[in-house]
Amino acid sequence: MISFTFHRLYRLHHFTASTTLLNGILFSHPYHFFNFNSNPFWRYTQFSSFTTNPLSSDFDSVVKRVCSLVSESYCKVQENTHFKSRHPKLKLPIDSEYLTQEQAITVVASLADEGGSMLALSFFYWAIGYVKFRHFMRLYIVLAIYLIKNGNFERTHEVMHFMLRNFCEVGMLKEAVDMVFEMQNQGLVLNAGSLNSVVSVATEMGHVEMAEKVFGEMCDRGVCPDSFCFESMVVAYCRMGRVVEADRWLSAMLERGFLVDNATCTLIMSVFCDKGSVNRVLWIFNKLIELGLAPNVINYTCLINGLCKKGIIKHAFELLEEMVRKGLKPNVFTHTVLIDGLCKKGWMDKAFRLFLKLVKSDNYKPNVHTYTAMIAGYCKQEKLNRAEMLLSRMQEQELVPNANTYTALIDGYCKVGNFDVAYKLLRVMDEKGLAPSIFTYNAVIDGLCKKGRVQEAYQMLKKGMQIGISPDLVTYTILMSQSCKLGDNGQAFALFSKMVKAGISPDMHTYTTLIAALCRQKKMKDSEKLFDDAVILGLIPTKETCTSMICGYCRDKNVAMAKKYFQRMGEYGCVPDSLTYGALISGLCKESKLDEARDLYNSMVDKGILPCEVTRLTVAYEYCKNNEPTIAMGLLDRLEKKLWIRTVSTLVRKLCSEKNVDVAALFFHKLLDKQQSVDRVTLAAFMSACYESNNYDLVSSMNERITKDFGESTVE
């Protein structure tokens, strides 16, 4: 056992001429080498009043007794432990009230000076177990300075880590960080471990901006960050859902050749996929493999799940094949996410084949989530008999349906308007002790709204709120959408305001619902303001949002603004579809800008986008009206035969109704060239138009051609 003589203690702790006056309190010899008065950080270490006079013998006797107790307890711990503990737990027969804060730092100094670092550290660990000492900064500083003096930097970093973590608890992380930098001035060599301590504590508490600042400052001070420093920043931003910042740090990490571990890889895959950055996460995944990461089943399953949620099923199965080639065995969760993805796509036959593969497997069997995915898929297609069959099957397998299973069934019955069974299933849930969630209520509310039973939907919401269920974003969006369909924009915006006041942030779908309603009423200034508000909030407009704006401006005969929004779609990562093109082409045609309409039509066909029948007919008809049927024919000739026949037949009837018989005859002749039969409606419309316009010669020549070329098989 280490002994401490009273003479040594007296010489060390008795206040002599070398004492220093600090904030009106005498401070003892061991700290004379640190200039406290000149250091601004000492303002954070408030001194408690002494329970004993520091100049009295009581002060020395308490210090001496505690040092002795620490020494005895430490030796006992070491004797009873085969391996030396890094943080020995002392059992002292005193509590925190026995010591003042001043006596505690004197004990630390005495133990460090006489017994060594480990003895002082053992008391330090005991002391910071009490709030009284945990947030007393001088305790950390005194011990750190002694450790630095002895060249024990590893233990100094350990003390600094405890200081950072404990002071972060009371909102003093910045002060603790400042003290770490001050310790560098006292001789502490900062390294990647120092940076890791600050970054890990700061990011765990959500202070990522401070972590970034410290990261930069430590690099400026010559610290070379390791992979763990970067990984902490990536993980922090991922947990906050801030993929742009996470990607920035991850890119910097990969540039240095650093790898993340499998757990972090899973987190990155999950968050990036949830935020829609699927293409980016695929690149990251391949880059990590290139750098040496050996992905496991969980990594692959997480990425496959992200792809399935985005409907990229083909690539998901390619990843499945890749993991099998690498000797990894897909588990029931891997198969379940694939089945769920197929079901959401509506590919139930493929989903069922994969489901049967699991049923026949000796290693893995479908679980509750697998059955629920299949049931939800069948309910989505209104195949409720099959859904009920699977429910019975899973119960035979002694699998207990959960709330999600019943919610899927309730949603299915609400879709077909069978609310009696839906309400019965709600009662079954109650009997089985399964609490319906807001998802369950949303399924019923949505079904009621779509069947026009709006008041009943509001009553259902009220009932849910009475049992503690709060409406979510989906609930409000359903009700807003229904109000917009009924033309009640006032109610829709009232719901929007109520939702925001409840602390629910609208998403782009919510904004699109309101924007579309305003556009239908040609209230373009209001819709433009909503659009801009969404962008300011950081929401990204979707294809549907932009299409609504384009339709609205075309209705309002402002095709210039419609073109502006069409051109901006690329900025938001939106790809226009046939509806988007059709809306703008229609607007251009109405303003007689046929050349622009033709260019746009050709552009969409070149990109493999099939024009809808309305678009095909509109652009062809407008050119016919403009006495340019040749151009109209050229545009329609780009269609495959079946669509060409359908469009030309409709165009002939349209031209005949407008008494434009001569142009109609041109297309009718082309129609006879393409096929051996003409539908009765088109033939009747053409013949009637010829008779009404007294164009008997045309009727005669057409009859001759029909009889000559096709006989009586011409008319269907």
Reported as a single tens digit per residue, the pLDDT across 83-129 is 455 666 778 888 778 888 888 888 888 887 777 778 888 888 888 88
**Gyration radius of the chain over CA positions:** 38
**What percentage of the chain exceeds 90 in pLDDT?**
43
58, amino acid identity: D
Query: Locate tokens 């409720």: which residue?
Result: 384
- Residues 308 and 344 sit within 8 Å (Cβ to Cβ): yes
Number of H helices, E strands in the chain: 38, 2
The three-state secondary structure class of 365 is coil
- Residues 588 and 596 sit within 8 Å (Cβ to Cβ): yes
Instruction: Reply yes or no on whether the pLDDT at 715 is more than 80.
Output: no
- φ/ψ (deg, to 5) at 573: 75, 20
Label residue 333 left, alpha or beta by phi (over 0 means left) and psi (-120 to 50 means alpha).
alpha
The three-state secondary structure class of 2 is coil
CA distance 563 to 550: 7
Instruction: Reply yes or no on whether the pLDDT at 603 is more than 60.
Output: yes
**How many other CB atoms are there within 10 angstroms of residue 4's CB atom?**
18
- Residue-wise pLDDT tens digits, 403-459: 999 999 999 999 999 999 999 999 999 999 999 999 999 999 999 999 999 999 999
C-alpha separations of 44 from 41, 104, 138, 193, 462 in Å: 6, 17, 9, 25, 53
CA distance 668 to 673: 9
- DSSP-derived letter for residue 98 is G
Indicate the helix (H) or strand (E) that contains 27. Answer: strand 25-27
Instruction: Reply yes or no on whether the pLDDT at 157 is more than 50.
Output: yes
Which pLDDT score, from 0 to 100, does residue 28 have?
37
- pLDDT class for 314, splitting at 50, 70, 90? very high
Instruction: Reply yes or no on whether the pLDDT at 15 is more than 70.
Output: no
CA distance 308 to 345: 9
Q: What is the DSSP string of 149-201?
A: HTT-HHHHHHHHHHHHHHHHTTT-HHHHHHHHHHHHHTT----HHHHHHHHHH
- Residue-wise pLDDT tens digits, 363-398: 888 999 999 999 999 999 999 999 999 999 999 999
530, amino acid identity: L
Q: What is the DSSP string of 271-330?
A: HHHHTT-HHHHHHHHHHHHHHT----HHHHHHHHHHHHHTT-HHHHHHHHHHHHHTTPPP
- Residues 690 and 699 sit within 8 Å (Cβ to Cβ): yes
Structure tokens at 641: 């035969």
Instruction: Reply yes or no on whether the pLDDT at 24 is more than 70.
Output: no
Q: Is the dihedral of CA 625, 630, 631, 634 positive or negative?
A: positive
CA distance 212 to 327: 40
CA distance 289 to 388: 44
Q: Which residues pair with 27 in a beta bridge?
A: 20
- φ/ψ (deg, to 5) at 364: -130, 140
Structure tokens at 616: 């095909």
CA distance 509 to 514: 9
Which pLDDT score, from 0 to 100, does residue 23 have?
31
Instruction: Reply yes or no on whether the pLDDT at 500 is more than 80.
Output: yes
- Mean pLDDT across 450-472: 92
Query: Locate tokens 């970054």: which residue?
Result: 199
User: In whole numbers, what is the pLDDT of the chain averaged over residues?
Assistant: 84
pTM as predicted: 0.70
Which pLDDT score, from 0 to 100, does residue 176 have?
85
Distance of CA 214 to the CA centre of its chain: 27
- Residues 566 and 546 sit within 8 Å (Cβ to Cβ): yes
Label residue 608 left, alpha or beta by phi (over 0 means left) and psi (-120 to 50 means alpha).
left
- Residues 545 and 511 sit within 8 Å (Cβ to Cβ): yes
- pLDDT class for 716, splitting at 50, 70, 90? very low
Which pLDDT score, from 0 to 100, does residue 211 have?
85
**How many other CB atoms are there within 10 angstroms of residue 663's CB atom?**
21
The three-state secondary structure class of 567 is helix
The three-state DSSP-derived secondary structure of 543-556 is: HHHHHHHHHHHHHC
- Residues 119 and 111 sit within 8 Å (Cβ to Cβ): yes
- Residues 550 and 566 sit within 8 Å (Cβ to Cβ): yes
- Residue-wise pLDDT tens digits, 329-358: 999 999 999 999 999 999 999 999 999 998
The three-state secondary structure class of 678 is strand
- Residues 714 and 676 sit within 8 Å (Cβ to Cβ): yes
Which of 348-357, 417-426, 591-600, 673-682 bottoms out in mean pLDDT, i.e. has the lowest?
673-682
- Residue-wise pLDDT tens digits, 26-79: 333 333 333 333 443 333 333 333 333 444 557 778 888 888 888 888 888 777
- Residue-wise pLDDT tens digits, 650-670: 998 998 888 888 888 888 888
Instruction: Reply yes or no on whether the pLDDT at 461 is more than 60.
Output: yes
CA distance 199 to 223: 13
- Mean pLDDT across 622-644: 89
Which pLDDT score, from 0 to 100, does residue 711 have?
53
Highest mean predicted confidence (pLDDT) among 145-159, 248-262, 700-714: 248-262
419, amino acid identity: F
CA distance 597 to 591: 10
Which pLDDT score, from 0 to 100, does residue 560 have?
93
- Residues 245 and 237 sit within 8 Å (Cβ to Cβ): yes
CA distance 511 to 549: 12
